[in-house]
Structure 1
């Protein structure tokens, strides 16, 4: 299968350095989705429906802001490239607001709502200026169909290292600090500070060691022949691309499933299963290790078969597992671990392959529209992901309230227990099934992508080419 000489393989150092940026992204992201709702309901005293609304508004703002940041990143011109200046400028405020959102204050219900709404909006805004350029940078480091999967596999390992830290460390530290006599509010403040430092360090390492490694940077500076367009036009052109619609739909639905299933675990383990901090931390560590093992298998499978088919198959298994486990009630820790293995196959596949599939749309954009807009392509997918996550946190808060959950009491009602179970299993399983259905219509395959790249290389050189082998992508 022909492939142009422009294909770029990546050395170990770059893959490792790029994955550090994923740690910076995922420490704040997962700390938020694992514990922010729980922190508001159980330590600040915000009613669950109101806490869910704070997340909904803040994350919707983040989602709407995605295309703006992507467009700014695509049109930035500097000797340091289009992505890395924004990444380093955003790293410090991102880490500061990651600290501030876990600071409890007592200002009354209305003032507390306003405070946390402002802090979360600032948190997600600064996060966005780091993460959109970071993900777009991945498409500029290599244009090889399989190498992009491997790069994302490395990043996914970084993601689950961060997930392990962000999920297992807070319950352990919280129990440790409270046992020593600290208040829960002060304990969360210290935990927020620890994570802020981790975000800043990992973001700097990624920024520093990926300097000058973009494959398109120098060519664009010497002769920028790409067409420029307004944000509205860029969005319209990218959304019009056939693969964008189906990948964005799948990303949205699994974001709902993943956020509900993972964010609800702290409620499930504390109230339904009665697990203390040590058992909770143990589960989250096992969860992350299982995901890392799955990533190795997913990467090898996706290099031999089409990413699309691997993605659909493994998300399907994860979704089926969620639906089946809604009927078990998790009678033992062993059953919870089986749930972990099945769900993590789908979730690890999502976080590993959807970015790699997203990168392939960037070359299609260049072929169809004569523009390289990795930032806006990334923003469209990030918008879908954040919209799904926002809906998930709002739905979770509303369902908990409907089930009669009260954060101020230790023993929840039977209806609250049942709703917590459904938030972790049945509802995510339904949304996960919709994610699988959407991706079945995604048209980019390895054969079609390589044929398009050959045509794109010919088009750049003003030579003749044919669209016959990849017309289904257009």
Structure 2
């Protein structure tokens, strides 16, 4: 295995893919529902249903693709072929999803449903092999933290491209006389181009980086084995806690990001340019906070740092419900404080998953990074679906009317809750899931040392981590 230090060039070559990952994921997550409801004329409930159906489809495709990656025997590697084949359908579907097609309402609803199914399937085919790739670059925990730091910085570049750039571009085009449909289509084209180019660069830079020994004695794919592996994973308590954390966090992320534009538009009486400023403030603070989290993880533990940061941001969001956020300055301060927890999540979550992969390999004798990442990917999107469903139902119940420039007081109160207290509660729940995980950092360091001896056929101790087995 890779018990070695990575060069900066190697780290950058891999982590540049997170620009494309963050761009496409956050652009769709933040604006697809808003586009369908306010531009394409889809009802909030139908829009939520479209996103939820797509996630139900992912319940099938995510573990299947993860299983296929684990059992791939390609000479070109287990992961890179899937990444390359996902690029065209992923980029094209982003563009077509943000076209306000002139169709009867039923056909329009079906149009958006088909495209979101294509997008999430293609995203899964990229996302699972991309992040499982990180588990084989190196076995050294400190190097994994370093990779996470670079990936986080470039991930925030992607978030900036997915949030600040589109809202700024849409705002500028609207001022120049373009229609809503034209402005959002232009934003989608830019987001798709950034996604495809950055992932293509990563694909080229990682050539030859997958371990050759992975292609030796890879078992064939069988439906019965697939379901057995699913069941065995669902019995692993440490894994269930990590993916529960992912579920709660991504409900928070979807509610917070998608309702920021609603809040700025209807509660603050402003527009896309001001929303862009708030997104930018959150991204800048999050990037600036990365070195502090990296240092804190080295001094303390990633579990402790994660819990402290996410709990802080969760409490800030809950308390913000009782504060009047009515200016760009107060809005920027709020999203910046929330960004602390978001930064900690993206810095730590993949290392939690890599801990599970190492734990599973030691306990069960299998390296199942693909299928382990698949349920994370599924919960990532399930969180988005749950949030989209909640948002659609609550907006509809509150009396939201997309044709009104000024919404009733009850609607504005609901938008405020969707932007503050509800995502805050989800962030606190995500923090609690990690508090009770048995895979603590020091035990995992001892387990990894014994795992390397086990791979080499040597005698290995288990005393320091016997309790987690």
TM bin, normalised by shorter chain, reads: over 0.9
1:59–1:387 CA contact under 8 A, matched in 2: yes
- In the other structure, the counterpart of 1:102 is 98
Where in structure 2 are the equivalents of 1:250-265 lying within 5 Å? 250-265=245-260
Distance in 2 separating the partners of 1:237 and 1:252: 20
Distance in 2 separating the partners of 1:344 and 1:194: 24
**Residue 358 (1) aligns with residue 358 (2):** no
Q: Which residue of the other structure, out of 381, 387, 403, is the alignment partner of 1:408? A: 403
- In the other structure, the counterpart of 1:224 is 217
| Count of residues paired in the alignment | 467
**Residue 244 (1) aligns with residue 239 (2):** yes
1:247–1:438 CA contact under 8 A, matched in 2: yes
2:14–2:206 CA contact under 8 A, matched in 1: yes
**Secondary structure of 1:264's match?**
helix
**Secondary structure of 2:16's match?**
helix
**Residue 200 (1) aligns with residue 225 (2):** no
- In the other structure, the counterpart of 1:277 is 272
Where in structure 2 are the equivalents of 1:329-408 lying within 5 Å? 329-408=324-403
**Residue 298 (1) aligns with residue 257 (2):** no
Residue 106 of structure 1, CA deviation: 2.4
**Residue 171 (1) aligns with residue 164 (2):** no
Distance 1:460 1:228, change over 3 A: farther
Distance in 1 separating the partners of 2:200 and 2:111: 29
- In the other structure, the counterpart of 1:58 is 54
Residue 339 of structure 1, CA deviation: 1.3
Distance in 2 separating the partners of 1:110 and 1:226: 45
Residue 56 of structure 1, CA deviation: 1.3
2:71–2:219 CA contact under 8 A, matched in 1: no
TM-score by length of 2: 0.96
Residue 460 of structure 1, CA deviation: 2.2
1:290–1:341 CA contact under 8 A, matched in 2: yes
Deviations 1:92-136 (CA, angstroms, capped at 9, x unpaired): 111111111001112222111111001100111111111111011
**Residue 12 (1) aligns with residue 5 (2):** no
2:169–2:187 CA contact under 8 A, matched in 1: yes
- In the other structure, the counterpart of 1:127 is 123
Distance in 2 separating the partners of 1:415 and 1:288: 31
Question: Which consecutive unaligned segments of at least 5 residues does structure 1 have?
Answer: none
Distance in 1 separating the partners of 2:466 and 2:324: 48
TM-score by length of 1: 0.95
Residue 395 of structure 1, CA deviation: 0.6
Once structures 1 and 2 are overlaid, which stretch shifts more, 5-14 or 325-334? 5-14
Q: Which residue of the other structure, out of 440, 443, 450, is the alignment partner of 2:438? A: 443
**Secondary structure of 1:344's match?**
helix
Distance in 1 separating the partners of 2:268 and 2:175: 22
Distance in 2 separating the partners of 1:285 and 1:274: 19
**Residue 149 (1) aligns with residue 153 (2):** no
**Secondary structure of 1:257's match?**
helix
- In the other structure, the counterpart of 2:87 is 91
RMSD: 1.7
Distance in 1 separating the partners of 2:68 and 2:388: 28
Residue 237 of structure 1, CA deviation: 2.2
Residue 385 of structure 1, CA deviation: 1.8
Which 4+ stretches in 1 moved above 6 angstroms?
A: 225-229
Distance in 2 separating the partners of 1:427 and 1:225: 45
Residue 270 of structure 1, CA deviation: 0.9
1:8–1:144 CA contact under 8 A, matched in 2: yes
Distance 1:396 1:28, change over 3 A: same
Deviations 1:313-338 (CA, angstroms, capped at 9, x unpaired): 11100110011101113133332222
**Secondary structure of 2:461's match?**
coil
- In the other structure, the counterpart of 2:36 is 40
1:99–1:189 CA contact under 8 A, matched in 2: yes
- In the other structure, the counterpart of 2:422 is 427
Residue 57 of structure 1, CA deviation: 1.2
1:329–1:421 CA contact under 8 A, matched in 2: no
Deviations 1:142-164 (CA, angstroms, capped at 9, x unpaired): 11112112211211111111111
Distance in 1 separating the partners of 2:220 and 2:344: 34
**Residue 160 (1) aligns with residue 156 (2):** yes
Q: Which residue of the other structure, out of 177, 186, 191, is the alignment partner of 2:187? A: 191
Residue 72 of structure 1, CA deviation: 0.8
Distance in 1 separating the partners of 2:294 and 2:230: 30
